[in-house]
Structure 1
Amino acid sequence: MKIIGITGNSGSGKSTISKLISKNYEAKIIDADKIAKEMTKNNGEYLQAIRQAFGNDVIKNNELDRKKLADIVFLNRAEKEKLDGLTFEYVVEEIKKELEANQNLDYQYIILDVPLLFESKLDKLCDYTIGVIAPKTEKIKRICKRDKLSKEKALQRLNSQPNDEFFTKNCNTVINNENKEETIKMVNEIMLKLQ
């Protein structure tokens, strides 16, 4: 079994690439964003740590108010680093547990869909890493549609994240997820190399 790390900015299409590989190549997806969302429900430890770090304003009905937290962290690098630190402490441990639980199952590949793959050091667990990039205008459009944000808020989010060169420099390969047919072709070429 091979572990493939998939990373990229918000709106780049990490989940699209992950699902494409999962569907066509017997792969289990471990999605960091989904794990983080689950961990911010039911008043768990991670949510309590966020409350302690950012105050009660980011909690609504014992769940994380993602928009309020985003307004704080995407405007202030120090606040984003504080959140990233909590994420590495709680969410990364949960990802490692899930990875271990899936090691002996009948998958050819496990995909770690992790926005902060290198920052969290989860890349060290991967056999191969894929960076997903897309034109900034396309990422903004996707973020606005998916998260129902204004262009300004989407741009703030993107400006707080690494640029495309970061992924080109650190990943084994990069997929430009602008054109669907080209993306599928690139995914198939990568998976052929990994078999």
Structure 2
Amino acid sequence: MLSLYRPGDGLLHRMPAGPKLSLLVMLVLAVSLLPTEPWSAVMAACTCLLVYMFAGLRDGMLGLRVLGTQLWALKWVVALMLVGQVIFLGPLPAVLNTARVVAALLLAALLALTTRVTALLDAVERGLAPLAALRIDPARVALMLTITLSTLPVMGRFAHDVREAQRARGARPGVRTFAVPYLVMALKHANELGDALAARGVR
């Protein structure tokens, strides 16, 4: 699995994977459930800023460089959400809803940035151990959840890489010139991931 883990010594890096997962899930839920009010967008943005600043990501700017990179990787998600919601809901609700969703995505990305995949997988598997009594394989469920949590940051990085390659070649930005290489990279990653899982006996 492609890992986005960044070594560091901050509070989130030192925190065990289980409590960290619970904390970030609660933060994501809190941001997602904020009311559609102007102050909620400010609170969501401040929450992201504070959490990234104290994450200890070692980017030389108290985590703000990494935050900017993650936000830039989501620019197409932001654009699509804004356009769709402006059409159906109007400008203010569109901006507020998009701000909450983007804040939740940025907070979720911190899990991949500050936790090794193996540690996250072990924590989720331990948390789901009671499901074994219902004949549900905790290891399989943990693997599925871990892959799901890791997919969005990976797709965001692919989008960033495509745009950087286009700039290097002087290509004009556009949906067609972006979508084709992006889909190729996404499908290639999915194929490699499937092969890796199959090699480990996961069916």
Q: TM-score, length-normalised on structure 1?
A: 0.29
Q: State which structure, 1 or 2, has the greater radius of gyration over its C-alpha atoms.
A: 2
Higher helix share: 2
Q: Which has the higher contact order (CA 8 A, sep 6+)?
A: 1
Q: TM-score, length-normalised on structure 2?
A: 0.28
Higher strand share: 1
